[in-house]
Amino acid sequence: MMNHSQPTVRMKPDKQLDCNLSQDDGVWMMASSFIIFTMTAGFGLLESGRVSAKDEVNCMVKNVFDVIFGGLAYWMFGYGLTFGDSKHQFGRYFGFGDFFFDPERVSDDDSTDEKGISYSLFIFQMSFATTTSTIVSAGMSERIHLKSHCFISFFITIVHSVAGHWVWDQEGIFRTMGVVDSAGCSAVHLVGGISGLVATLYLTPRRNRFAKNGIRTVSDPTKAILGFLMIWWGWLAFNTSSNYAVTHGQWTEGMRSAVGTILASAGGGVVTVVITRMATKKIQMDMLIDGMLASLVASTGGCLYFTPWQATLVGAIGSSLALAAYPVTEWLKIDDPVGVFPVHVVGSIWGMIAPAIFVKRRQMNFGPPECNYQANEEANGLLYGGGFQLLFLQTFVVFVIATYSAICSFIILFLIHHSPIGLRVDKYDEELGADLIEHGLAGVNVMAYTLEKKLDTKTLSSVLMIIVRWRAKAKLGAIRRKQVHDSGLVSPKPTENVEMNVIHRRH
């Protein structure tokens, strides 16, 4: 049953219709996959730059492991669970077959073009799956064994793959209901964000994170910002190529997504700069990154449908909501080193709700008329007379996928924690740092920063007064010592000695 929510993608197309994806479509997906995989480097730089210097290498290694073990899980089971055969009793909930993906073995009679499309779709969706496990790794930074992280990456990819079937496969339960999710807002960001939130809650905060005199350190803000820029670049491919095709005029839909993505980040960026400047009197590095990432996450739900002004507004609202979540995480004492909760939980929830407000029925370039997925009247958002039907559907999808992700991630963490593998590092190893314990790297990173606490007027005046008094007393002491030296006395007079002792005690 055709619906408006996703573009035409036929892995086993009707031979009578010219709906097949072609060589150009496969090249488009493959090139986009390569760009999306560069986001792994961006995630690694972002995470390692925002944790303490004793754990930055370990964060980079974990991002490598996400691709290794997440990619292995997707090849073994993930692709089959998402795009496998749906012609069975539970086909609306998960695919079956195509495990240990190999088009040469599964479809010997298919054309070369169809096999090529299968290969390109696999590598494209694998880049999405490994992104999900990378989000989870960010929430567990500095607190988890590297060996346990391997298993978490593997199983979180499986969790993502089942949710992907619901919203991406033609027989998936939510897709047949008409859900609007252009680029994996629910299957990637919501699954990753909820799983990462559950992980950081299960692991408990880092040592002294919320202590009375505790401080928060970052290893390299420059590295974190560079990582964000790489993610920003990759996001354009992430959203733009999610319609899978450029033939039959479908390239225009991809370009529409590109404009919506970049304008959402621009709108979110302006709001982020204003909020962080007003709240802290500075442009805080972590707030700038998280605010703009939240705007990008918010764009993924409806980037195929948003007009430029809608995308800008959606991104601005997404950033505002994410930054508003900052004091909530501190109040609840949620130790979230890289902003998984504000970016991927808050941002993705808004990203799924936004289409229910802004989507408007229009003619879309998804190939010949026989292949089009056209929106019906009920698919329109609240602003265009669509009523609450789409809003209820989008909210229901958020609730179901969030609940499913939370339960699955908790079970995974619980089983690993109570297995011989173990989960959380002990306090001694956490203090020494994973770079030393896991990788044998000892040394001092001179590029370590301490995040500055906000100074109020009273505190600033006290600091300045202490500095002025210290300089005056130091000058008086120097004069006294010079007088003693010029008089030729071996030791100061008793009265002078008493005076110097008083000054020293005050200092």
Render pLDDT for 68-105 as a digit per residue (tens, 0 to 9): 999 999 999 999 999 988 888 888 999 988 899 888 77
Question: How far lies 438's CA from each of 63, 225, 346, 432, in Å?
Answer: 15, 26, 33, 10
Contacts of 243 (CB under 8 A, 6+ apart): 7, 182, 250, 253, 254, 257, 304, 366
Cβ(126)–Cβ(75) under 8 Å? Answer: yes
User: Does the pLDDT value for residue 377 go beyond 50?
Assistant: no
Q: How far apart are CA 153 and CA 134, in angstroms?
A: 8
Mean pLDDT of 395-420: 96
**pTM recorded for the entire structure:** 0.82
Cα torsion 365, 366, 370, 373 to 10°: value is -100
Q: Which two tokens stand for residue 115?
A: 């096999």
The per-residue pLDDT for range 146-201, each reduced to its tens digit, is 999 999 999 999 999 999 999 988 888 998 888 989 888 888 999 999 999 999 99
| Fold designation for 23-439 | Ammonium transporter fold (1.10.3430)
Looking at every residue in the chain, the average pLDDT score rounds to 83
CA angle at residue 30 from 47 to 118, to 5 degrees?
115
> What are the Cα distances from residue 47, in Å, to 329, 331, 486?
18, 23, 61
Token output for 346: 């808050």
The residue with greater pLDDT, 156 or 503, is 156
* Residue 366 DSSP one-character state: S
Of 144, 235, 126, 238, the closest CA to residue 196 belongs to 144
Length of the chain measured in residues: 507
C-alpha pair distances (Å), 66 with each of 35, 107, 134, 153, 483: 17, 29, 6, 6, 70
Token readout for 466 is 């202490």
Q: For the chain, how far is it from start to end, CA to CA, in angstroms? A: 82
Q: DSSP letter string over 36-51?
A: HHHHHHHHHHHHHHHS
